A and B are shown apart, each in its own frame.
Chain A
Amino acid sequence: MADATPVRVVLAKLGLDGHDRGLKVVARMLRDGGMEVIYLGLRQTTSSIIDAVEQEDADVVGISMLNAGHLTLGPLMVDALADAGLDVPVVIGGIVPDEDLPTLAAAGVAGVLGPGSPAADVVACVRAAVAGRGR
């Protein structure tokens, strides 16, 4: 089957936030960018995300979070994947102040998307994260 294989993204909201409107918008952007989105929805934990990544043989994880959780939850996800021996990049979405970007990059977060990022940026960011790792 000659078609290029679509990128497979596990998309989830990490933590206890209440709604998934934003996450659904991102899911549609990625689908329209030709990716396969394995949508987990709300209230996921690092362990439920790892189960999905493992079973789905996903190329990349996209997590969203609110409430300024990025500095703890982003690195937590990266470390949890590394501990599980899964070499899969993590892209996070949320309200992240510019001054936190270097910290997140140093913690191994492959990409950061602010709220309202245009579709082209979202898709490009996830693609770049996957390209950075390779298979």
Chain B
Amino acid sequence: MAPVADRTVPELVAAARGGELRATARLLTFVERGGDLAEQVAEATHRHVGNAHVIGLTGPPGSGKSTLTAVWTIQLAEEGRRPAVLAVDPSSPLTGGAILGDRVRMAAATAAGVFIRSMATRGHAGGLALAVPGMVRVLDIAGFDPVIVETVGVGQVEVDVTAATDTAVVVVTPGMGDAVQANKAGLLEVADLFAVNKSDRPDAVDVRRDLELMLDLSKLTGHGRPDAVARPTIVSTVATTGRGVAELADAVDSHLAALLNAGLLEARREVRRRAEVRSHLEHLVLAASAAAVEAAFGAAADAAETADEPPGVTARRLAERLLTNPGS
């Protein structure tokens, strides 16, 4: 078997579909980096996807997402399923580096054969929204099911990533105003399910009540997912002992079943494809507009014209040129 570095993308895709972890890992690297190779991977994978239940798991840092994921995926592996985890953590905006620590809590899952991939947000606006769906596709064609995407629920991008799944699970914990924070962050609107983790703490009942209350309110105001199949289930868990994790797993499976029953799974995936096309388009447009602005101020002739007109007019002129003449 040739080393992964010497193989073409189609060869790697064939190997990944045959269960070779190293090929899968290298394809993930290509997609994460973006560019030509990422496009080749997308070409070679997009026709084979659709077998994995894609689950988003988000919540504040330290709420127990990784601990929960470890227990959950070990149970799944024991049932004969092949779960994979994509664990996303923020990059430092200053240095571009990151400490990806999710594996610390998932050591037992690794030992149980669960495939775990850590990824950093890498700073670029919208980059995550481009990379994550492509990486999920790689895990899907490699035969993993379910694919759990763990993100830290703090920003819009993470909320979007969580929403771009079949089932979105939001983790909240007692005592930190998590439910209220989740509401503010827009997480309540994307959640299909809540896990109230750290339910070994006495004030866990309060979070549950807060959540119920907010769900009542959101029903009144017409918020929530338009493609929701039911009012979100709330499951109490203690990730450190495993209590409630089987119930969480059941609730997640039931959610998928309900989507299928209601004929909403395909609809949800269609919405996702649209969002993904839009992310790619926005990325292209952003790059093109940055280049156009540079050019407008760069060459002497253009710069003279630019200096002579209001910024809005320059923008319109550039937009017309970009739209009629892509690549100029």
Contacts and interface: CB of A to CB of B under 8 A. Distances in A.
B124 A27 contact: no
A15 interface: no
Chain A interface, >50% SS class: mixed
B117 to A, nearest CB: 6
Residue in B29, B35, B100 whose Cβ sees the most chain A Cβ within 10 Å: B100
Interface string A25-49: 0011011111111111100000010
A67 interface: no
Interface stretch (A52-60, A74-82, A91-99, A100-108): A52-60
Interface residues of B, number: 36
Contact of B117 (A6, A34, A55, A87): A55
Interface string A15-31: 00000000000011011
Contacts of A27: 99
Interface string B96-117: 1111110110010011000111
A113 B172 CA distance: 41
A35 B97 contact: yes
Interface string B141-177: 0000000000000000000000000000000000000
Contacts of B5: 135
Contact of A1 (B34, B107, B120): B34
B92 interface: yes
B276 to A, nearest CB: 15
A72 interface: no
Interface in B82-132: 91-92, 94-101, 103-104, 107, 110-111, 115-118, 120, 122-124, 127, 130
A35 B118 CA distance: 13
A41 B96 contact: no
Contact of B103 (A3, A5, A40, A135): A40
Interface string B34-64: 1100000000000000000000000000000
B33 interface: yes
A121 interface: no
A54 B22 contact: yes
A17 to B, nearest CB: 15
A37 B104 contact: no
A132 interface: no
A28 B117 CA distance: 20
Contacts of B117: 55-56
A57 B99 contact: no
A87 to B, nearest CB: 7
Contact of A39 (B21, B101, B127): B101
8 contacts: A6-B98, A33-B95, A36-B91, A36-B100, A37-B100, A40-B103, A56-B25, A57-B29
Interface of B: 3, 5, 21-22, 25-26, 28-29, 33-35, 91-92, 94-101, 103-104, 107, 110-111, 115-118, 120, 122-124, 127, 130
